């Protein structure tokens, strides 16, 4: 199992219509084959300046690779993520 997580800050304010639009468009990721337990999260710790997070799980590396190469993911990254995300940190975990 692989848990893919990313925390991020948008160019738009966290409580803006632009942020809501971005999060709405990100829902397409949940429908990509292999994605399990897709969650959109609001970051609440004062220890960093990220606003949101995504978390999802994959059964194995093949499922994760399929997600990364899926046309919906590629289109989301190029059309939404790259122009709209100001900063991010991605961490992928495997169970010990």
The helices-and-strands tally (H runs, E runs) of the chain is 4, 4
Q: Two tokens at 9? A: 């800050």
Range of the domain at 58: 2-94
What pLDDT sits at residue 43?
A: 94
Provide, rounded to the nearest whole percent, the portion of the chain with pLDDT above 70. 100
Question: What is the number of domains present in the chain?
Answer: 1
At 39 the pLDDT is 98
32-45 as b/e, with b when 16 or more CB fall inside 10 Å? bebbeebeeeebee
pLDDT tens digits, 35-81: 999 999 999 999 999 999 999 999 999 999 999 999 999 999 999 99
The pLDDT score that the predictor gives to residue 63 is 98
CATH number, domain of 31, equals: 3.30.70.100
């Amino acid at each position: 199992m692989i848990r893919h997580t990313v925390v991020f800050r948008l160019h738009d304010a966290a409580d803006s219509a632009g942020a809501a639009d971005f999060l709405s468009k990100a829902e397409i990721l949940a429908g990509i084959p292999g994605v399990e337990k897709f969650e959109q999260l609001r970051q609440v710790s004062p220890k960093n300046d990220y606003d949101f997070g995504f978390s999802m799980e994959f059964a194995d590396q093949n499922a994760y690779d399929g997600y990364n190469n899926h046309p919906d993911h590629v289109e989301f990254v190029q059309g939404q993520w790259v122009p709209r995300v100001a900063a991010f940190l991605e961490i992928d975990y495997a169970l010990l």
